[in-house]
Amino acid sequence: MKKLITPQATINVQVLLTGNELMSGVTTDSNSAMIAEKLSTIGMALSRKVTIGDDMDVLVQEMEALSLNSDVLLVNGGLGPTIDDLTSEAVSKLIGKPLVVNQQAIAHLESWCEARSYPLNQANRKQAFLPEGAKVIANAVGSAVGFSVKWNDCVVICTPGVPSELRVMLDREILKLLMEDFPNAVAPSITRLQLFGLGESGLQQSISDDFPDWPANVEVSFRAGVPTLELKLTTFTEEDEPEKELWKTKLLLNIGDYVVGEGSTDLQTEVVALLADQNKTLTTVESCTGGLIASKITEVPGASAVFQAGFVTYSDDMKNQLVGVPDSAFKANGAVSEAVVREMVIGGLKISGANFGVAVSGIAGPDGGTDSKPVGTVWIAWGSDDRIYTQRLVIGRNRKLFQLMVSAIALDLIRRLLLNIQEPPVYFSTYQ
């Protein structure tokens, strides 16, 4: 199997990240990873990233040095309305052109403020001053437009630091612009699979073991997310694409049960889609996850077609009162027990009238653990009026990660049920 490598960039792209918050440790930069990932889809790779604080002289110096050595310099941050947003002025100094009111930028600001009934104040107006001759890059979601200039034979592109704004600007404007400027870059063909329930190293090992003849021209790489793991298959020429499809098919025969979906599909989106396809509804009865499963489901547009009610039954009393868990169920083994989660899901199904239900009760910690039920212990029940399944797991993480993993597992068990997957997932043996 081929090692993950940065593809040999024919086009030299460098990134300059600016902002004191990036230097002080206050903010972790996720923008440059986003930039790298999106540029890779058009066949471009980063060769260097430089991060500096909000200092005019340093900014101008660094832009000069980087532009001398790049085909493309992407500057990120410093386009906001405040006094420490220096990028426009720095570019103006760099290229020796004055800052002037840009008509496109001012029109954008006016309509942006109007749509929000904000007054267009002096601070905002500052965002319309761009270096003379700069080409505006539209910002569909924020007040600050981006812009580009040419300097030292390098395309200098200035972008906002707010990740949601950067994302939209890359998708709608910058990638297009770069493809026009550099028509010879070859975009790799990428297939992304989202997996749940397999770890990166285990998966890597099993691919090496099961596919000793994996071809070098189909690159395999991973990105460990929470809670899903992304597996990426990449080919760099058109002729290699059919081979990628062939090996994807082979791979799916092995690990298909763990594939939540292609592209950026997540667990909740897949569960809502499966329920909608089958014209079924789901209910949730949550103790230790405290509403997180329901909130994940209702994050998905159109969830109302498949989800009508959820219960957060955090205390024993409320487990009884809201979904009718009988006192007797608590007697033998307390609230974190098979008997209780079974009654929780039965009660939830009955009251909501949903076709499927999932219930969880566990010890999220940091307190409340015992020898027989350590922190991280959770009972899950899921199923329908026809049949209820139960499972005990111990997920020894911190409170937030525990809640996140239990919610993901609950969604995955519903996904497996809807797909009629018989084989129990490996996490049943991993978390014990």
In the list 46, 109, 271, 405, the residue contacting its own copies (rule: CB under 8 A) is 46
User: Interface with its own copies includes 49 (CB under 8 A)?
Assistant: yes
Q: Residue 146 Cβ, how far from its own copies at the closest point, in Å?
A: 19
User: Interface with its own copies includes 4 (CB under 8 A)?
Assistant: yes
User: Interface with its own copies includes 290 (CB under 8 A)?
Assistant: yes
CA distance 155 to 336: 60
Pick out residues in 51-70 that bind its own copies (CB under 8 A).
Answer: 51-55, 58
User: Interface with its own copies includes 3 (CB under 8 A)?
Assistant: yes
Residue 77: CB partners within 8 Å, gap ≥ 6? 17, 18, 19, 22, 31, 87, 159, 160, 161
In the list 48, 176, 250, 331, the residue contacting its own copies (rule: CB under 8 A) is 48
Tokens representing 185? 């870059």
CA angle 40, 43, 47 (to 5 degrees): 70
Nearer to its own copies, 149 or 359 (CB): 359
CA distance 25 to 10: 33
State the pairing for strand pair 356-362/377-383.
antiparallel
Tokens representing 371? 């020898």
Q: Residue 283 Cβ, how far from its own copies at the closest point, in Å?
A: 9
* Amino acid occupying residue 150: K
User: Interface with its own copies includes 121 (CB under 8 A)?
Assistant: yes
Pick out residues in 124-153 that bind its own copies (CB under 8 A).
Answer: 124
User: Interface with its own copies includes 257 (CB under 8 A)?
Assistant: no
In the list 23, 177, 179, 388, the residue contacting its own copies (rule: CB under 8 A) is 23
The DSSP output letter for 170 is I
State the pairing for strand pair 12-18/45-52.
parallel
For residues 336, 329, 412, 202, the Cα torsion angle rounded to the nearest 10 degrees is: 40
In the list 103, 111, 254, 308, the residue contacting its own copies (rule: CB under 8 A) is 308
State the pairing for strand pair 219-224/229-235.
antiparallel
User: Interface with its own copies includes 309 (CB under 8 A)?
Assistant: yes
Nearer to its own copies, 96 or 119 (CB): 119
Q: Residue 201 Cβ, how far from its own copies at the closest point, in Å?
A: 5
**CA–centroid distance for 156 within its chain:** 28
Nearer to its own copies, 305 or 419 (CB): 305
Q: Residue 133 Cβ, how far from its own copies at the closest point, in Å?
A: 28
